[in-house]
Homo-oligomer: A and B are copies of this chain.
Amino acid sequence: MLTPVISEIDAYLASVLNARELPEILRGAISYATLYGGKRLRPALVLLACEAVGGDRADALPPAAAIELIHNFSLVHDDLPSMDDDALRRGRPTLHVQAGEAMATLAGDAMVSIAFELIAEASLDADVRSRIVRELASATTAMITGQVHDTVGGFPDGLSDEQRLGAIHRNKTGALLRAACRMGAICGHADEKVLGRLDRYGEAIGVMFQIVDDLLDVTQSTEHLGKAAGKDLSAGKLTWPGVMGIERSKDDVRALQAEARDALAPLGDAAEPLRRLGDHLAVRTR
């Protein structure tokens, strides 16, 4: 359903990476981690949120590319041997398997700095650029916080499994998906009230996305997912179905889908693509 939007994002990302002055070995590593596959969910949310508030989605391409770079940076670093130690991503060897750990570390780092360059260079009002930097930077910090909790722990004492799980999901996946919606709305010059609508939508689909991901990890095969299935469970990681049970998880998905639709209700037809995307995310199979 996102095909036209994804084509625009893919073309823009490729042109941006080809145009920058970078050592070829670094450009190759970043391209390997960024240009081949991926759902492009975050950049699609930026573009569609911009349109939903009445903006021109072409304006939102630089922040869209930036958030996709940040997302892929996090995958590259999370896959490292010292972190999740994954050898497979999107059905291909992970970057550190392909190009070595040093290169994967450095390429991930460069993806972050290039992301902020893209926003700072964009033809947008200085105020919009600065607000978008703030959204993306704070969501990145939140995402890393989620990964710290997921990998190293470090929770305050006395939290239940449910509370810890909520904190991981909200930060690790939710923060960036929510930021995508906020960034698009800011690009489209949304007022505070409309921005709040996109924020609610982004928060709902963010948590929903991670619950669906956890459910898929329980129920699908490695071949279908393109990454090692059942890995979270076998690693003893907290997952939504693991803590809440599968039926409760499915109920939560339905409630969050309804919350997402409700948040968009006053925005009318302009928000229809976001509405359909939310519905799609609730029932996706990969």
A: which residues have CB within 8 A of B? 22-26, 73, 77, 80, 82-83, 100-103, 105-106, 108-110, 112-114, 116-117, 119-121, 125-127, 129-131, 133-134, 136-138, 140-141, 144-145, 147-149, 151-156
Contacts and interface: CB of A to CB of B under 8 A. Distances in A.
Contacts of A114: 137, 141
Contact of A148 (B25, B141, B145, B149): B25
Contacts of A120: 130-131, 133-134, 137
A145 B110 contact: yes
B152 A102 contact: yes
A144 B102 contact: no
A71 B140 CA distance: 18
A113 B133 contact: no
A106 B147 contact: yes
B106 A109 contact: no
A127 to B, nearest CB: 4
Contacts of A112: 109, 112-113, 140
Contacts of A23: 145, 148-149, 154-155
A213 B84 CA distance: 37
A101 B96 CA distance: 15
Contact of A117 (B110, B121, B138): B138
B133 A116 contact: yes
Given A152-B100, A155-B23, A117 B105 contact: no
A109 B138 CA distance: 12
15 contacts: A23-B148, A23-B155, A77-B105, A77-B106, A83-B102, A83-B106, A103-B148, A109-B109, A112-B112, A113-B138, A114-B141, A116-B136, A116-B140, A117-B137, A126-B130
A167 B40 CA distance: 35
